[in-house]
Structure 1
Amino acid sequence: MDRSIGVITTILLLTSTAAILMSAAPIAGAQDDDTVKVAMFALEGTPYGAWTKNGWKTGLEYAADSGTYEDSEWTAGDRTIETKTYSTYKAPSEIVSDARSAIDDWGADILVGAVLSSTGKKLASVAESRQTPYWLCPAAASSLTEKPTFSKYVFRAGRNSWHDAITAAYIQQEYQPEAETIAFMGEDYIFGQDGIDAAKSAFEDVGLDTVAIEYPPKDTTEFGPYLDRIQNADPDLVFVAWAGATEYKSMYDAMNERGMLEKLVPAVIDYYSMNYLNVATDGLYEGRTGFAYFGHGVTTNEVYEAQLSLYEDYDITPDASLAPTIPDNDVASALGSSNAPELFGGVGFATAQFVVEGVRQAPSIAPDSLIATWEGMTLQTAYGETTIRPEDHQAMRPMFVAETQVDTDSESTMYNALHGYTQETLSKEYVENHIPVNTDYEPISGLDVSIDASTDSGVAPVDVDFDASVSGGVSPYSYEWSLGNGETATGSSAEVTYENANTDGYDVTLEVTDNAGTTGSASATVKVYESAEQQEEEEGGGMSTTVIAAAVVVVVVVVVAAVFLMRSQ
């Protein structure tokens, strides 16, 4: 979620889902099924890294069976989760080196993190090459879960560019229907590019015409020339996708100088940015209705309340280091002492929930076993019901239409500070219907097991050959046969001779386990009779061949006699 300071904008019985064939490349990681090592990549030394990490660690305490925010080990079911943090506040080549080392040397089974989408792309590449699951957190560029970048090893519990775009377009339809044209500005970088691509598509789908697009360099602080060209195009609305505190403030000031703020597509972003800008513009950010993703007053369910409670227990104040720069002492004091989880805290918390639940449920911690377990998983997060869409591993979750107001509740942790209040919720189903799947990936299927038998009945002794038919899962498979007469077998086929009659049938069961620990089973029944006559009676509806033959003779005799009498008369 790159928006550091504000993007404005068979019969089978399955014990779990299985995985598709693994490639022949070696798998790195701990390979100890009782211990799962998770490498967390955070933008250490920055508020944004802290926001994510605080959400992640409180999420681990919330979701795990034991372990606290202050620990480095947690338990989930029969497994132990160990974590280690690596900083991404360094050169890209060093980040890549750290990720490889985390897997190859420390034995990481799962990677988590990346505030910046560019960092997320690099970590995704390492995850693919090392066949190691990776949860983007909070990097939001949509292309990271789309082709050609998409990898089956990459997941995301937060939103991507499309979530913002479709919610903003919905607001335009419902709240600003008179708008006909729109202009876009995004940083010339993966997050801005993806944000504008998604927004342009979403707004054009609801009937707006695009009149200008500008991509200033990421380190731009002079926005005048770009905004002037947009202003000359005279759009009704302006959508901006930008990440970065200093640049965003400069851009906002430049828009304010040109009288363009009223055209800005609003967003309920992080508390710090909203409060800083609201003070700096004498209240222009207050009373705005915009798209929202997470925040106090926006996400209001039991999971959010649990997260807030943990922040209060550990006295986590996400904006304590930033608040003093707000040019209003009362607002700075209010925000600096607030325990409300900041913007990236939501995705950190949700990611921890999915990681822990996957570790708890997976038959094994082999990569494909974890992947199979996460695909389609649904959990209650602070956003509401959240599902990992199997086709692209992107979270499908509600989005929100919210209005910014100063909190007047003296009991609130955000008292005297500006934040969002939800006015309308876009359901998970609405979101999923409006966010396209842009991959060719086929989700992992379950193990499909069946039994082919040479016969299902006979007169004792009966020789039967059984063959297993298995698809899906991760080869090679192991087979365990129970042949119903006390005998067992292994392998993909089995042979047995049933010496004794058993008209109830010998119950044959087969359990198959794939290389990821997923199991599937199938069954068959073979009936054995004492004689051919008994078999005919049982399988022919209760009459033997002799009885049937006698009945036929009687019918024939009666018919012949009747014909003879008719002719005689």
Structure 2
Amino acid sequence: MPQSPIVTSGRIGVVAAGLALVASACAAEDSTAGSGAEGGEGAVKVGVVTSQSGLLSAYGKQFKEGFEAGIDYATDGTGEVDGRALEIEYADDGTDPAKATAAVTSMVGDGTQIITGPVSSGVAVQVAPLAEQNQFLYISGAAATDGITGINDYTFRSGRQTYQDVMTSASLVGDLEGKKVVVFAQDYEFGQANVAAVEAVLGEGQGAEVVPVLSPVETSDFTPFARQVVDEQPDLVFVAWAGETTNAMWQSLSQQGVFDGTTVVTGLADRASFDSFGPAAQKIDFLSHYFAEASDTEANQALVAYLEEEGVEADIFHNDGFVAAQMVVQAVAEGGEDVEAMVDALEGWEFTGPKGEQQVREDDHALIQPMFTATLSGEIGSLTPELADTLDPADIAPPTAG
């Protein structure tokens, strides 16, 4: 997570060092042709580097679909901005920072001025320093790590950040002074960022004792970690999880009786995960970044309708792709082919996305946005999210980074 009160990963510069992008970079691995006119005068090249394979491939798929919907919406179906073509190229980062930096190297070496897409926090924090070194506009995708906010002048984000998740969770619980909170998460940037945010917001901010229980990303047997959670006898369990092991993790928590003795708060993830909560589905309090039923903005209606035509149901990270597309169009509309002007065009920009009114904070590029709380209703196999509350963007805004 980022700067005060969140901390950045000390590994941010390890891969980035020495990777200044050059025109001789080799072709991006697994890249595919995107939409938009090819070779037009004044065209702007946009690279979408996201997880089409790997642990977070389902989220990368949603980001790509949402991005395509957003480009359609923001350009009125033309794929152009004031007559200027958007040349969009897609590449698979495989949820692998090294693969992502190779794809970015190739794209920027080929003249790409805008990069977006990472859904992995580990990928996102490695790409960000390259944006500053090579002066391209970088719009991080669904990656939630707070470390993206304020990292440099060229980096923005289209999704929420962990601090906003934790502030939303704080609205779901009562007085935590002197109580114990266990953070159950994966041991990489995303999980570590959640631990730091919970320590800052619920620990330092509300007087709770915060105990992390972190599982290695490669773990498939979560039983010993679930037992650790039970043995801590917490008053609250904050679960931060992503990826294909989600179902197995929830099953382990259920089997070890975690839900029997404490309150469990977690983020409402993709719809495919709803049944994984099993009998505990209606016992969990959910914080939510996005679900289609939470908003009725014009942008959300457009997103839902576009996806329905493709036979897809709007899901958690479709929003982030859609917003990234809105930001790309704004940057090109106001900045043309000048990256510095693109940055200026996004700083302080206020707009309506699928979630509602949002603003890019000028000082550190935090995306100030509403968040939601929710419950799940219905039976296993047909669980649906229901809006409990919409939190005002200002009430959950992260402190200014830097």
TM-score, normalised by the number of residues in structure 2: 0.84
Q: Residue in 1 aligned with 2:102?
A: 97
Change (3 A) 1:99 1:208: same
Structure-2 residue corresponding to 1:349: 322
Q: Secondary structure at the match of 2:376?
A: strand
Report the counterpart of residue 331 of structure 2 in structure 1: 358
Query: Counterparts of 1:201 and 1:425 in 2: how far apart (Å)?
Result: 23
Tell me, yes or no, if the aligned pair for 1:184 and 1:213 is still in contact at 8 Å: yes
Structure 2, unpaired ranges of 5+: 2-19, 24-37
Where structure 1 has 5 or more consecutive residues not aligned to the other structure, the ranges are 2-24, 68-73, 318-339, 408-414, 440-569
Does the 8 A contact of 1:111 with 1:133 survive in 2? Answer: yes
Give deviations 1:356-382, integer Å, cap 9, x for gaps: 1221122x4221111011000011001
Cα distance between partner residues in 2 of 1:211 and 1:250: 24
Partner of 2:253, secondary structure, is: helix
Tell me the distance in 1 between the aligned counterparts of 2:239 and 2:51: 24
**What letter is aligned with 1:405?**
S
Query: Which amino acid is 2:272 matched to?
Result: Y
| Structure 2 counterpart of 1:136, one-letter code | S
Task: Tell me how large the CA RMSD over aligned residues is.
Answer: 2.7
1-side partners of 2:141 and 2:220: how far apart? Answer: 27
CA displacement 1:526-568 (0-9 Å, x = unmatched): xxxxxxxxxxxxxxxxxxxxxxxxxxxxxxxxxxxxxxxxxxx
Relative to structure 1, the CA distance from residue 371 to residue 183 in structure 2 (aligned partners, 3 Å threshold; closer, same or farther) is same
Specify the SS of the correspondent of 1:265.
strand
Corresponding residue of 1:87: 92
Matched to 1:431, the amino acid is I
Counterpart of 1:270 in structure 2 is 270
Post-superposition Cα deviations, 1:196-224, rounded to whole Å, max 9, x if no partner, equal 11122111255342252222211112223
Determine the C-alpha separation between the residues in 1 that align with 2:210 and 2:153: 37
User: Are the aligned partners of 1:397 and 1:428 in contact in 2 as well (CA < 8 Å)?
Assistant: yes
Letter in 2 for 1:350: V
Shift of 1:179: 8.8
**1:21-42 CA-partner distances (Å, limit 9, x unpaired):** xxxx9998x9998211101112
1:202 aligns with 2:201: yes
* Pair 1:306–1:365, CA change in 2 (3 A): same
| Alignment partners' CA distance in 2, 1:213 and 1:142 | 18
- SS of residue paired to 2:265: coil
Looking at structure 1, the residues matched to 310 and 266 of structure 2 have their Cα atoms a distance apart, in angstroms, of 33
Equivalent pair of 2:22/2:105 in contact (CA under 8 Å): no
Q: 1:303, CA displacement in angstroms?
A: 1.6
Q: Does 1:52 align with 2:63?
A: yes
C-alpha separation between the residues in 1 aligned to 2:95 and 2:232?
40
State how far apart, in whole Å, the 1-side matches of 2:283 and 2:72 are.
Answer: 36
Map of 1:448-463 to 2, 5 A cutoff? none
Alignment-derived partner of residue 292 in structure 1: 288
Please state whether the residue corresponding to 1:171 is helix, strand or coil: coil
Please report how far the alpha carbon of residue 96 of structure 1 lies from its aligned counterpart in structure 2 after TM superposition: 1.5
Residue 421 (structure 1) aligns with: 386
In structure 1, C-alpha distance between the alignment counterparts of 2:52 and 2:389, rounded to whole Å: 35
For the residues of structure 1 that align with 2:177 and 2:46, how far apart are their CA atoms? Answer: 50
1:65–1:76 contact (8 Å) kept in structure 2: no
For the pair 1:38 / 2:39, whether they are aligned, the reply is no
Q: Quick check: which has more Rg, 1 or 2? A: 1
Once the two structures are TM-superposed, the CA of residue 291 in structure 1 deviates from its matched residue by: 0.8
How many corresponding residue pairs?
Answer: 366
User: Is this contact kept in 2: 1:31–1:365, CA < 8 A?
Assistant: no
Q: 2:399 aligned with 1:395, yes or no?
A: no
Alignment of 1:137-152 (within 5 A): 137-146=141-150, 150-152=151-153
Measure, in 2, the Cα distance between the counterparts of 1:388 and 1:268: 24
1:132 equivalent to 2:136? Answer yes
Who is 1:375 aligned against? 347
Alpha-carbon offset, residue 104 of structure 1: 1.0
Write the distance in 2 (CA, Å) between the matches of 1:402 and 1:249: 20
Find the residue that maps to 1:126 and give its secondary structure.
helix
The residue type equivalent to 1:359 in the other structure is V
Letter in 1 for 2:165: D
- Please state if 1:237 is matched with 2:200: no
Structure 2 partner of 1:12: none
Distance 2:272 2:356 in 1: 24
Task: State yes or no: 1:311 paired with 2:307.
Answer: yes
How much has 1:260 moved relative to structure 2?
A: 0.7
Deviates more, 1:183-192 or 1:197-206: 197-206
Q: What fraction of aligned residue pairs are identical, expressed as a percent?
A: 26
Q: Partner of 1:376: helix, strand, or coil? A: coil
- Separation in 2 of the partners of 1:270 and 1:406? 16
The CA deviation at 1:121 is 1.8
| Counterpart residue type for residue 252 of structure 1 | W
Q: Is the 8 A contact 1:354 1:379 kept in 2?
A: no
Once residues 207 and 112 of structure 2 are traced to their aligned partners in structure 1, the CA distance between those partners, rounded to angstroms, is 47
Contact 1:399 1:428 in 2 (8 A): yes
Distance 1:110 1:392 in 2: 19
Shift of 1:123: 1.8
Aligned CA distance change for structure 1 residues 421 and 215 (closer, same or farther; 3 Å): same
- On the 8 A contact 2:356/2:369 being kept in 1, the answer is yes
CA distance, structure 2, for counterparts of residue 37 and residue 154 of structure 1: 17
Q: TM-score, normalised by structure 1?
A: 0.60
Q: Give the counterpart letter for 1:376 in structure 2.
A: G
CA change 1:171–1:222 in 2 (3 A) is same
Q: Give me the whole-angstrom Cα distance separating, in 2, the residues matched to 1:169 and 1:223.
A: 26
Q: Sort the Cα spacing of 1:259 and 1:205 in 2 relative to 1 into closer, same or farther, 3 A.
A: same
- Kept in 2: contact 1:179–1:237 (CA 8 A): no
The whole-number CA distance in structure 1 between the counterparts of 2:391 and 2:63 is 24
Does residue 302 of structure 1 match 2:313? no
- Does residue 172 in structure 1 map to residue 173 in structure 2? yes
Q: How has the CA–CA distance of structure 1 residues 231 and 382 changed in structure 2, closer, same or farther, with 3 Å as cutoff? A: same
